[in-house]
Chain A
């Protein structure tokens, strides 16, 4: 059952403040991911205060890196259930977890960060890994 919208509003705002576009419906997701071109980061948001509480600041730090995705979008697991399920269909090779991060280039997943790679780590460490992934996968065209 989704949490009270008022409770998760700050978690949504944290994402939009850093420039992420929220995808809250299946049509939103299909429009963004259906014929995706260029580079994109999909952040699967979560209410988990410990994992997502570090993942969101990590993403904000990573997006200050010189190389970064052309688009940043987000779905909210446990909140926008249908949208999240749809988004996960676009990276179905990867088991669902939240929070998680998918990096896409022209519709192909080139890098995936699972929850277990976020747990217990500080935002700076997570951000450093993300920035390295940006360099590795997005460096040539951005």
Chain B
């Protein structure tokens, strides 16, 4: 990853609100903490589950942008083999 580091001494996305798409139906939105061999550590994480939600993922993200993220997990580790992509929420909305 390139670009300015939001929190010096940490990974580039530390403290940034990101959209993490998994290899399955779940999409997570929350504050990125770190990424290691175990996976991605996040905080205050909202979840969209395409298998059960009546809202599309895009609508879920738009609502997160307007109303904020309703956290379902205070802390979450997404296993490395289930991480499809990570991007900033503001970028995901463009």
Q: Which residues does A use to contact B, with CB under 8 Å? A: 48, 50-51, 93-97, 112, 114-117, 119-120
Assembled-state Cα–Cα distance A47/B6 (Å) = 15
- Other CB < 8 Å A-B pairs besides A115-B17, A116-B69, A117-B90, 4 of them? A48-B15, A94-B67, A95-B69, A116-B89
User: Closest Cβ of chain A: how far from B64's Cβ, in Å?
Assistant: 8
The 7 closest A-B pairs by CB, nearest first: A95-B68, A116-B17, A120-B6, A119-B16, A116-B89, A114-B68, A50-B6
Can you list 5 residue pairs at the A/B interface with Cβ under 8 Å?
Answer: A50-B7, A116-B64, A117-B90, A119-B88, A120-B16
Total interface residues on B, CB under 8 Å, equals 17
In the bound complex, residues from chain A placing their C-beta under 8 Å from that of B71 are 95
Q: Which residues does B use to contact A, with CB under 8 Å? A: 4, 6-7, 15-17, 64-71, 88-90
B17 adjacent to A119 (CB under 8 Å): yes
User: Closest Cβ of chain B: how far from A93's Cβ, in Å?
Assistant: 6
A-B contact count (CB 8 A): 42
Nearest neighbor of B63 in chain A, beta-carbon distance: A95
Assembled-state Cα–Cα distance A94/B70 (Å) = 9
**Contacting B90 at CB < 8 Å: which of A94, A96, A116?**
A116
In the bound complex, residues from chain A placing their C-beta under 8 Å from that of B64 are 116
Query: A48-B15, A50-B15, A51-B15 in contact; A119/B68 too (CB < 8 A)?
Result: no
Nearest neighbor of A114 in chain B, beta-carbon distance: B68
User: Closest Cβ of chain B: how far from A25's Cβ, in Å?
Assistant: 25
In the bound complex, residues from chain A placing their C-beta under 8 Å from that of B69 are 95, 97, 116
Assembled-state Cα–Cα distance A120/B88 (Å) = 10
In the bound complex, residues from chain A placing their C-beta under 8 Å from that of B67 are 93-95, 112
In the bound complex, residues from chain B placing their C-beta under 8 Å from that of A94 are 67-68
In the bound complex, residues from chain B placing their C-beta under 8 Å from that of A97 are 68-69
Assembled-state Cα–Cα distance A105/B53 (Å) = 34
